[in-house]
Amino acid sequence: MKKVTITIDGLQISATEGMTVLQAAQANGLYIPNLCNHPDLDPAGLCRVCVVKMDDWKIAISCKLPVKDGMIISTEDPEVQQIRKSSVELLVANHPMTCLTCEADSNCELQRVAHYVGVTPDSLKRYRRSVRSIPMDTSNPFFDIDHSKCIMCGICVRTCDELQNINAIDYAQRGVTSLISTLGNKPIADSRCESCGECVVRCPVAALSPKNSQEPTREVKSICTYCGVGCGVLLGVRGDNIVGVQGDRDNPVNKGSLCVKGRYGYKFINHPERLKTPLIKKNGELVEATWEEALDLIGEKFSQHKGDKFATLASARITNEDNYLIQKFTRAVMETNNIDHCARL
């Protein structure tokens, strides 16, 4: 792709033809505040926070402005600052002021943008504050919806449409009563939502937040165990417990996306009744054994049932490689073709 050179706030940067000014700035480590933009989605230009001034003195939104060789951009022009600040103040004026107890505290894009543009208590005095009183939708078993914290950026709507092709949610009503809603304003659990959580991880505020979330102390790369696709995951670990799962954007299989099982189906790992050692029945009771004892017993039992007396049922919750080994073991070692797979049933 052809390279072009543009100037942002007096700094010359290189960009690829076809990029937007916002993308070029982000690729070069320059911050232009924005709320409705997300790298996985097509630019929408809804929030009007990423405005910049061009060299011909026109005001434009940088997320929709294509780069052009030689263009000069100002992100700190006084007129740009005023437009940006007014847009953010209007959002903050009707937003709950519960940052310390909010699920998105320290990870809230509105909080970051408001601090960057200089929103202060004094600057909000000219607005009539009225936080919307809409009951939370807690029907989904994995995440909650708090409409009072929604900034109508549309990222959740576009995620459900562009990435998931589900269209479970959309804009509803008009004016000050506008909100993100399911068809017929039903609870999200009664809609066609598949609970994948892709909208939740992209929400820039806490309008969508996972239930009982905890901050991990570290993240561990792993592979999802629910099927043979091989999606990459980042396990959020706190002490000895897994407290959350994120998609691994560096994994070539899923590139950060996860289904409902991969994102939310991890609690079995910490379940107190989960078996951690093999059990062998002795004198009518199950007792703990070593892996060597268990494998020796299995080998002994299997050796008595070679041929058509033996059958294997494989699982969709293991990798393709493990399923290959199971069918190889069944055919080559146990000398039978009696093998089936639960995903076929």
3-state secondary structure labels for all residues of the chain: CCEEEEEECCEEEEEECCCEHHHHHHHCCCCCCCCCCCCCCCCCCCCCCCEEEECCCCEEECCCCECCCCCEEECCCHHHHHHHHHHHHHHHHCCCCCHHHCCCCCCCHHHHHHHHHCCCCHHHCCCCCCCCCCCCECCCCCEEECHHHCCCCCHHHHHHHHHCCCCCEEEECCHHHCEEEEHHHCCHHHCCCCCCCHHHHHCCCCCEEECCCCCCCEEEEEECCCCCCCCEEEEEEECCEEEEEEECCCCCCCCCCCCHHHHHCCHHHHCCCCCCCCEEEECCEEEECCHHHHHHHHHHHHHCCCHHHCCEEECCCCCHHHHHHHHHHHHHHCCCCCEEEHHHC
Q: Which of 53, 84, 115 is the last residue of a domain?
A: 84
pTM of the shown model: 0.86
Does residue 79 lie within any of the structural domains?
Answer: yes
pLDDT value of position 45: 92
For residue 128, the enclosing domain spans 94-210
pLDDT value of position 344: 63
Number of separate domains in the chain: 4
Based on the fold, state whether residues 185 and 110 are members of the same structural domain.
yes
Does residue 129 lie within any of the structural domains?
Answer: yes
Does residue 253 lie within any of the structural domains?
Answer: yes
Does residue 142 lie within any of the structural domains?
Answer: yes
Based on the fold, state whether residues 40 and 128 are members of the same structural domain.
no
* Local confidence pLDDT in tens for the 345 residues of the chain: 799 999 999 999 999 999 999 999 999 999 999 999 999 999 999 999 999 999 888 999 999 999 999 999 999 999 999 999 999 999 999 899 888 889 898 899 999 999 999 999 888 888 877 888 889 999 999 999 999 999 999 999 999 999 999 999 999 999 889 999 999 999 999 999 999 999 999 999 999 999 988 999 999 999 998 887 889 999 999 998 999 999 999 999 999 999 999 999 998 888 888 888 999 999 999 999 999 999 999 999 998 888 999 999 988 777 778 889 999 999 999 999 999 987 665
Based on the fold, state whether residues 59 and 165 are members of the same structural domain.
no
Does residue 206 lie within any of the structural domains?
Answer: yes
Based on the fold, state whether residues 334 and 242 are members of the same structural domain.
no
Q: Which of 65, 84, 103 is the last residue of a domain?
A: 84
Based on the fold, state whether residues 71 and 34 are members of the same structural domain.
yes
Based on the fold, state whether residues 105 and 205 are members of the same structural domain.
yes
Based on the fold, state whether residues 262 and 284 are members of the same structural domain.
no
pLDDT value of position 343: 67
Based on the fold, state whether residues 128 and 155 are members of the same structural domain.
yes
Residue 159 and residue 40 in contact, taking contact as beta carbons nearer than 8 Å: yes
Structure tokens at 220: 């561990």
CATH classification of the domain holding 25: 3.10.20.740
Based on the fold, state whether residues 183 and 234 are members of the same structural domain.
no
Does residue 236 lie within any of the structural domains?
Answer: yes
Based on the fold, state whether residues 240 and 182 are members of the same structural domain.
no
Query: Which residues are CB-neighbours of 107 under 8 A, at least 6 positions away?
Result: none
CATH classification of the domain holding 255: 2.20.25.90
CATH classification of the domain holding 195: 3.30.70.20
Query: Which residues are CB-neighbours of 254 under 8 A, at least 6 positions away?
Result: 229, 231, 232, 247, 248
Based on the fold, state whether residues 57 and 38 are members of the same structural domain.
yes
Based on the fold, state whether residues 297 and 256 are members of the same structural domain.
no
Does residue 89 lie within any of the structural domains?
Answer: no
Q: Which of 20, 53, 84 is the last residue of a domain?
A: 84
